[in-house]
Amino acid sequence: MSLKRNILYAVLWQLAWFAAVIPAGKGLPWVGLVATIPVILVAGWGRWPRAVAVMAVSLVVGLAVDAALGFSGVSNYPGGMFDGRLSPPWMWVLWLQLGLALDLSLAWLRPRLWLAMLFGLLGAPGAYLGGVAFGAMLAPQGKLALGIAVGLAYAIAVPLLIRLTRCPPSSS
């Protein structure tokens, strides 16, 4: 994987987060789905079988994590299914992007599962709390409870994603 492509993916991944979360907070959840297209194209170019497999695993793990957070009452999504306890599609694409990031720009975490755990524990709460700040999601039990629950969930989910997609990343 070329350094330029990894940098491009990392930048697109961050921009796509904002393009999904900010409009979702303004009642335009479909914008995040459209904004993900260039991110997926860059990540998948020349390696579609691998990219599709990584995205499938990421989506399953993401749906499970978000369902656990929602049904435990620490998160809620306006417009989400089951009274907002299940995440909406704009959130699903963020999970696809995370899986691709772990396979591309964050592939250096693969041999360092303890660091992947710390990445999830410390990094993910900021993303969810950002979603709350932009109005894309709610924290019914408070921001502290959401931050702790998300951190713990991602401390498990990120290393799990790496293990479940453990074949080496594509060299193209």
- Name the residue with higher pLDDT: 38 or 28: 28
Of 5-14, 19-28, 70-79, 133-142, the poorest mean pLDDT is in: 5-14
pLDDT one-digit tens code per residue, 122-143: 999 999 999 999 999 999 999 9
Q: Is the pLDDT of residue 19 over 80?
A: yes
| pLDDT at residue number 66 | 97
111 vs 130: CA distance, rounded Å: 29
Q: What is the mean pLDDT of the chain?
A: 90
pLDDT of residue 81: 80
Q: In this predicted structure, what is the pLDDT of residue 1?
A: 55
pLDDT score, position 156: 98
Q: In the predicted model, what is the mean pLDDT of residues 4-23?
A: 88
pLDDT over 50 (residue 172): no
In sequence order, what are the beta bridge partners of 81? 86
Domain boundaries, the chain: 3-164
Q: What percent of the chain lies above the pLDDT cut of 90?
A: 63
Q: What is the pLDDT of residues 76-94, one digit of tens each?
A: 999 788 889 999 999 999 9
Instruction: Assess whether pLDDT exceeds 80 at residue 148.
Output: yes
33-51: per-residue pLDDT in tens?
Answer: 888 888 888 777 888 898 8
